[in-house]
Amino acid sequence: MIDIKKWLVEKVAEETGLNTEQISCDEDFNNFDMDSLSIVSIAADLESATNEEVDPTAFVEYNTINKFATWISQQK
């Protein structure tokens, strides 16, 4: 099992070019300086990492790292 929150922080850092310390887990994904394809690409990576299907549109409703990680853990 991967730590989804830590994993997401690293991914968002990678996509934005920021350090992991600069990534707030309560920030709306829309407020990060990411490409419009970033979220779909993160969702695809998460699918490979977890071997579970990930709905890329869930990032709209669960729009912060904290909300998304909580939601994913409740799916189990």
Partner 1 sequence: MDISTKVTWNPYSRGYFQDPYPHLKTCRENNPVHQGIHEAWMFFKHSDISKLLRHPNLGVSGLSEYLKEKEPYIFKNTETCPYLAQSTQWWPMYLNGNLHKKIRVALGKVFQALEWEPVILKAVERVNARYQSLNKFNLANYCADYIFMITSEIFGIDQYGTTAKIKEYSNLLARSQDLFVSKQFYQQINTSLLWGKQLFDRSAYREKIEAALKEQQLDYTSDHIYSLMTISLMATFETSKDNLCMALYEIIKRKHIIHLISESTPQQLNILIEELFRFTSPLQYTVREVQSPLNYNGISLPTQSKLYLCLASANRDPEVFDRPDEIIPDRQPNPHLSFGGGLHFCLGANVARLELRHCLQPMVQLLKDYTFDDHGESNVQWAKQIFMRNAQSILLKRNAL
CB 13 within 8 A of CB 38: no
Under rule CB under 8 A, residue 57 binds partner 1: yes
Q: Report in angstroms how near the CB of residue 60 gets to partner 1 at its nearest.
A: 6
Under a CB-based contact definition with an 8 Å cutoff, are residues 67 and 6 in contact?
no
Decide: is 13 part of the binding site for partner 1 (CB under 8 A): no
Burial class (CB in 10 A: 0-12, 13-18, 19+), 19: exposed
Identify which of residues 2 and 44 has a Cβ nearer to partner 1 in the complex.
Answer: 44
- Is residue 23 part of the contact set for partner 1 (CB under 8 A)? no
Q: Which residues bind partner 1 (CB under 8 A)?
A: 35, 37-38, 40-41, 43-45, 55-58, 60
